[in-house]
């Protein structure tokens, strides 16, 4: 049974936390001040209830075109969960089938990515819709099964995606759509304005 997160725990987020969470290096510096105005508004609206939502297994759907800051917003939320004593795992959708089939391990750890997911308070499923099923004919059934495991275990999941309502319904069978709706429970954060995060000078 995983511990519940709580703001009063106040953990200092380190590079090791981000590495173990499988968060890509390019997002390690993601912070609230680097988010777009939309991203900051969504974050501020979410923070007061973040602990309760994550502890209840409620997920979040962050939708927008490329370069609107979806993954950055997800990582900033993830850092808050880590600060509150939680465990986070980042899954790039494009590698999902590899994780399901090959039992890939967390860097420097004995557990696999999926084993870490099962003890996580929050999973980031980044770029939903980018999964490839070319080498896995039963891939969508496996995806539905994975999402059901998250739902049954009360694991909160952030989905980032550029899929519209139309392309989403065309891509996924009813079973996957049902599990996504159960996981997200209406927590929808649209990002519509492309932005370029400030870069360090020099």
Q: Which domain CATH number covers 135?
A: 3.40.50.300
* 197 within some domain: no
* 160 within some domain: yes
* 102 within some domain: yes
* 103 within some domain: yes
* 21 within some domain: yes
Q: pTM score > 0.75 for this model?
A: yes
Range of the domain at 125: 7-191
**φ and ψ at 121, to 5 degrees?**
-80, -30
**Cα–Cα distance for residue pair 154/59, rounded to 1 Å:** 9
Give the residue with greater pLDDT, 125 vs 165.
125
* 2 within some domain: no
Q: Where are the beta strands (DSSP E) in the chain?
A: 60-64, 88-92, 122-128, 156-161, 188-191
pLDDT of residue 135: 62
pLDDT of residue 1: 60
Work out how many domains the chain is built from and give that number: 1
The position carrying tokens 């795992």 is: 89
* 86 within some domain: yes
* 202 within some domain: no
pLDDT of residue 140: 86
């Amino acid at each position: 049974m995983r511990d519940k997160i709580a703001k009063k725990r106040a953990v200092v987020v380190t590079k090791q936390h981000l590495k173990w969470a499988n968060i890509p290096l390019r997002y390690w510096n993601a912070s609230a001040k680097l988010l777009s105005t939309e991203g900051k508004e969504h974050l501020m609206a979410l923070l007061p209830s973040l602990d309760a939502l994550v502890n209840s297994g409620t997920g979040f759907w962050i939708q927008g075109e490329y370069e609107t800051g979806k993954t950055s917003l997800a990582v900033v939320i993830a850092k808050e969960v880590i600060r509150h004593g939680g465990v986070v795992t980042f899954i790039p959708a494009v590698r999902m089938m590899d994780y399901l089939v090959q039992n890939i391990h967390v860097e420097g750890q004995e557990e696999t990515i999926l084993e870490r997911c099962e003890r996580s308070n929050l999973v980031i499923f980044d770029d939903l819709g980018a999964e490839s099923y070319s080498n896995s004919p039963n891939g969508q059934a496996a995806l539905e099964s994975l999402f059901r495991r998250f739902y049954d275990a009360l694991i909160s999941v952030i989905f980032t995606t550029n899929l519209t309502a139309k392309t989403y319904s065309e891509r996924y069978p009813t079973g996957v759509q049902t599990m996504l709706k159960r996981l997200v429970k209406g927590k929808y954060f649209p990002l519509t304005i492309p932005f370029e995060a400030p870069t360090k000078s020099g």
